[in-house]
């Protein structure tokens, strides 16, 4: 009688290593039982006597073994997906990220979005529906919504676009009505949405090499959710690097909550933006990309390797509140987070949790609690710019201006180029009607950054309010000169996200 194949621990480990290497998929301890069954079933199916021979077959670089990899991957991955999965993140896309991208791209009318690990298609179709809702003249846009997935079987399912009622468990009936046609018990996506999509079979782990024949490049937004959960930290880091290269400057990456939170070095080049619904990662603007690349290249040549690694650990969170005209009405719901450069941080996961707690307390206006919490944290991390900013801003909000000033000054001792503290000081001194000090800070801003739109514009306002029209005009002229060098659709975060175009029009009226 023929012996049944069995898998010993040593061979199982060899399979696990080969699979990580080839696909990035990490077989976790809790899944070992089902993993053993998969390997034994495939060994039987291909009529090998034992898993060792199946292993040798998989290690070959021939067409047949490639085909077998596709089958094995089907067994190892899960294709669970449905429309508008995670309503919070889709809200974030609908209300902030997509409108920002649409605004940014309104001149070229070209937008490239990728759903990485799209499974059977609900995720990219949901993105297409959002875009259709948000862009009235969508037919005049050059849109690409690309789905990429390692699983070749899902391609046909996604292309057909026919789904069971269960896939719509998070979909408003009117959206289902508007974009789908009932076919028996199933629903088919309408053609006007379908034609916005393209699908590709692609292994994210190997995608760097495949990029020539792929549309997966120059992407404005990558959505990759419920995919990283399968990967080892090393593979996640590799994929993040691939994603970074696939993104356009200022492009976004949205992952499932907390899926890559323990990544430090893989995320160093990304900015982090924390919204009420989710954290999202952003590739920096073009000039910052150039700066960072040059900086990293210089670091590599100037310092020993361990020092560079040490530097990469400094990627903490720098929290920039949405600016507002009035300190007491500062917006605390929406926080942008970008990598900071001067702090050595505790693990990110702690920061994020602390920031979430602080945000919640601020929303509830529990100022005493939040102040106490921040004082305690700052006891441990006295030079952490994030917490210093929160505390200074909270003091400003409750009218404890001297405390706010003290913490701003301390932060500026730590990093005298952390401009948000100057902006806060300007607000505080204005509130205190300290003209001399307000002006001193504004002068310092333009001394440190001769191209500061904020600095010249605010100085213009300062003189204007004090009846010195001649000096005000000069400052506004200087502001206009700087604005001339910037793209029209660029937003100026420290001036309530006013666009360059809007501010230029406003100033042209003032100076003429
Ligand atoms: C659970 S589904 C997620 C579907 C969708 N993103 C969502 O959140 O609803 C995971 C998908 O990741 C794909 N995947 C796993 N490893 C991959 C790899 N190395 N390259 C590309 N796709 C991969 C799987 O084939 C599967 O379709």
- What is the residue-averaged pLDDT of the chain? 83
Helix orientation angle between 500-511 and 469-484, rounded to the nearest 10 degrees: 150
Please check the confidence at residue 310 and state whether its pLDDT lies above 50. no
- Give the mean pLDDT of 289-315: 38
In whole angstroms, give the CA distance from residue 139 to residue 322. Answer: 34
Q: What is the pLDDT of residue 1?
A: 58
Q: Is the pLDDT of residue 107 over 80?
A: yes
pLDDT in tens, 8-41: 999 999 999 999 988 888 898 888 989 999 999 9
Give residue-wise pLDDT tens across range 397-433: 899 999 999 999 998 887 777 889 999 999 999 999 9
Most confident option among 160-169, 187-196, 251-260: 187-196
Average confidence (pLDDT) over 305-334: 31
For residues 24 and 34, give the distance between their C-alpha atoms in angstroms, rounded to a whole number. Answer: 18
Domains and their CATH numbers in the chain? 9-76 (1.10.155), 87-282 (3.40.50.150), 289-313 (no CATH)
Rounded Cα distance, 450 and 312, in Å: 29
- The arrangement of strands across the sheet holding 186-189 comes to 162-163, 186-189, 180-183
Distance of alpha carbon 402 from alpha carbon 379, whole angstroms: 19
Binding site membership of 123 for ligand 1 (Cβ less than 6 Å): yes
The token pair at 277 is 């619904």
Residue 488 above 70 pLDDT? yes
- pLDDT, residue 360, reads 84
pLDDT at 292: 56
**Given this model, what pLDDT does residue 145 score?**
97
The better pLDDT of the pair 264, 47 is held by: 47
Looking at residue 356, what is its pLDDT?
Answer: 79
Per-residue pLDDT at 293: 53
Q: Tokens 């100076």 belong to which residue?
A: 511
* Section 96-125 average pLDDT: 95
- Which long-range contacts (C-beta less than 8 Å, at least 24 apart) are formed by 496-500? 496/322, 496/323, 496/324, 496/325, 497/322, 497/323
Whose tokens are 């590709």? That residue is 200
pLDDT at 306 over 80: no
- Nearest CA, atom 27, ligand 1: 119
CA-nearest residue, atom 7 of ligand 1: 81
According to the 3-state scheme, what is the secondary structure of 341-373?
CCCCCCCHHHHHHHHHHHHHHHHCCCHHHHHHH
225 lines ligand 1 (CB under 6 A): yes
pLDDT band with cut points at 50, 70 and 90 for residue 333? very low
CA distances (Å), origin 87, targets 65, 92, 133, 421: 40, 9, 16, 35
Q: How far does the centroid of ligand 1 lie from the alpha carbon of residue 148, in Å?
A: 9
Ligand 1 binding pocket mutation candidate from 77, 147, 216, 258 (most atoms within 8 A of CB):
77
Indicate the pLDDT class of residue 494, thresholds 50, 70 and 90: confident
Q: Kindly report which listed range (192-201, 371-380, 484-493) carries the lowest average pLDDT score.
A: 484-493
Residues 6 or more apart in contact with residue 214 via CB below 8 angstroms: 148, 200, 202, 207
């Amino acid at each position: 009688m023929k012996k049944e194949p069995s898998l010993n621990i040593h061979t199982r480990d060899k399979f696990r290593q080969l699979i990580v290497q080839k696909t990035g998929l990490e077989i976790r301890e809790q899944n070992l039982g089902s993993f053993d069954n998969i390997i034994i079933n495939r060994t039987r199916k291909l009529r090998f006597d034992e898993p060792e021979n199946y292993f040798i077959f998989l290690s070959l670089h021939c067409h047949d073994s490639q085909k077998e990899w596709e089958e094995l991957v089907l067994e190892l991955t899960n294709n669970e997906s449905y429309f508008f999965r995670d309503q919070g993140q889709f809200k974030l896309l609908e209300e902030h990220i997509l409108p920002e991208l649409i605004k940014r791209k309104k001149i070229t009318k070209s937008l490239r979005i990728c759903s990485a690990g799209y499974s059977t298609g609900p995720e990219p179709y949901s993105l297409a529906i959002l875009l259709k809702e948000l862009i009235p003249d969508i037919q005049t846009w050059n849109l690409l919504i690309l789905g990429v997935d390692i699983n070749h079987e899902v391609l046909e399912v996604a292309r057909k676009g026919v789904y069971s009622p269960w896939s719509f468990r998070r979909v408003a009936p009117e959206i289902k009505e508007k974009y789908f046609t009932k076919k028996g018990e199933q629903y088919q996506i309408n053609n006007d949405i379908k034609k916005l999509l393209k699908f590709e079979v692609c292994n994210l782990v190997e995608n760097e090499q495949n990029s020539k024949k792929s549309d997966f490049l120059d992407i404005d937004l990558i959505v990759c959710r419920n995919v990283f959960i399968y990967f080892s930290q090393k593979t996640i880091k590799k994929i993040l690097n691939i994603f970074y290269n696939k993104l356009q400057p200022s492009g976004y990456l949205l992952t499932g909550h907390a899926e890559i939170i323990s990544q430090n070095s893989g995320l160093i080049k990304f900015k982090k933006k924390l919204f009420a619904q989710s954290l999202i990662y952003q590739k920096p603007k073009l000039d910052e990309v150039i700066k960072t690349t040059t900086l990293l290249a210089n670091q590599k040549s100037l310092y020993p390797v361990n020092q560079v690694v040490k530097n990469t650990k400094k990627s903490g969170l720098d929290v920039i509140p949405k600016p507002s005209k009035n300190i007491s009405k500062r917006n605390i719901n929406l926080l942008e987070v970008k990598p900071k450069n001067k702090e050595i941080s505790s693990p990110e996961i702690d920061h994020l949790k602390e920031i979430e707690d602080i945000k919640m307390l601020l929303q509830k206006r529990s100022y005493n609690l939040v102040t106490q919490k921040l004082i305690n944290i700052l006891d441990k991390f006295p030079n952490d710019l994030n917490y210093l900013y929160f505390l200074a801003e909270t003091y400003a909000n409750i009218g404890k201006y001297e405390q706010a000033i003290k913490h701003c000054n301390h932060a500026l001792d730590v990093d005298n180029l952390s401009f948000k503290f100057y902006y806060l000081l300007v607000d505080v001194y204005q509130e205190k009607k300290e003209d001399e000090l307000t002006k001193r800070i504004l002068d310092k801003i333009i001394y440190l950054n001769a191209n500061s739109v904020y600095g010249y514009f605010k100085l213009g306002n300062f003189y204007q309010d004090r009846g010195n029209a001649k000096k005000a005009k000069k400052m506004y002229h200087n502001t206009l000169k700087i604005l001339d060098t910037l793209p029209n659709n660029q937003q100026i975060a420290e001036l309530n996200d006013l666009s360059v175009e809007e501010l230029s029009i406003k100033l042209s009226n003032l100076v003429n």
